[in-house]
A = this chain, B = another copy of it.
Amino acid sequence: MSNFTYLNIEKAYQAIHQKLIKTPLVSNDYINKLLGAKIYFKLENLQKTGSFKLRGATYKVSKLSKEQKLKGIVAYSSGNHAQAVAYACLEEGISAKIIMPKDAPKIKIENTQKLKAQIIFYDRANESREKIGEEIASHENRTIIKPYDDYDVIAGQGTAAFEISQELNNISVIPDIYLCCCGGGGLIAGTSTYLKHKYPNILSYAAEPFGFDDTKKSLDSKRIIANESGFTSICDAIVTPQPGKMTFPINLRNLSGGVVVDDEEVKQSIKILAEHLKIVAEPGGAVAATAALTKKIDIKNKTVVVMISGGNIDLDVFCSL
């Protein structure tokens, strides 16, 4: 697992915090009463580009050499990492090629295009985005910015927890439980590392969509297990095939387990978050909230931090829920 610790995250925070929005940590009376718990939602949907992904992308880009910046980057992403990398590259004048699935949400494709990245579409079912990425990288001498299997990216994502602990410290609150969505596992690896450093007794759980609970299965059997094929989910941001090689050892050390939610439960959560918290969350971004709202984990009388990781949902899809 190398020497990845909370220090990587503090270093990342120092490097990039001026380029980030310090997103709010908010609590909601109605939801607290509903659950008999004190929930603090970290609103990364309010981050620039609409998700936490800007943190890791910004940090990674900040660490590229001059030569690497000149030659440009290539990245693959279902959409949030795409926008984040495009944004970070645009800020630095770096050429960005991004490999995205044809069926990514319109909002994610359009926003990535607006950020001047060149998009290469691929077919999720029949093509490997990693392979396409490696080919472009090798032909054009571009640096690959991976969505999660990179310690700098993990450290960048972890800066969300640096802010969480700052805010909790201001109000003298110590959390019992941390719930975070999990695709490749970069966000939860980074944030759980920092929260465990600050709150050694915190219990952290990965929330995943039904059919894509590879991290839960892998945690249960203490080795990387891939998802079976044939499943679909509305949680487009976190339907990765298996835990990352770098993220999983960190998550195995930090996490107490996984929680699985289904699409119908996620839809209900998105509605509750809109109606009561007054926010727009995307399906993948609402998975951790769903774990809490469905009470699939015992949070009664506990203080719980819940990550809302993104808000990039097409409004027509949002309203169809």
Contact = CB atoms under 8 A, between A and B. Distances in A.
Interface of A: 21, 23-24, 26-29, 43, 45-46, 48-50, 87, 107, 271, 274-281, 311, 315, 318-319
Contacts of A48: 28-29
Given A46-B26, A319-B319, A274 B278 contact: no
Q: Which 8 A-B pairs have the closest CB atoms?
A: A278-B311, A24-B24, A319-B319, A45-B278, A278-B280, A29-B48, A274-B280, A26-B46
Contact of A21 (B26, B49, B274): B26
Given A26-B24, A26-B46, A27-B21, A315 B274 contact: yes
13 contacts: A21-B26, A21-B27, A24-B26, A24-B46, A28-B46, A28-B48, A29-B49, A45-B278, A274-B315, A275-B280, A278-B280, A279-B279, A319-B319
B280 A50 contact: no
A315 B21 contact: no
Contacts of A28: 46, 48
A315 B107 CA distance: 21
Given A24-B24, A26-B21, A319-B319, A46 B277 contact: yes
Nearest to A18: B171
Contacts of A278: 43, 45-46, 50, 279-281, 311
A90 to B, nearest CB: 11
Contacts of A87: 29
A305 to B, nearest CB: 16
B280 A315 contact: no
A275 B24 contact: no
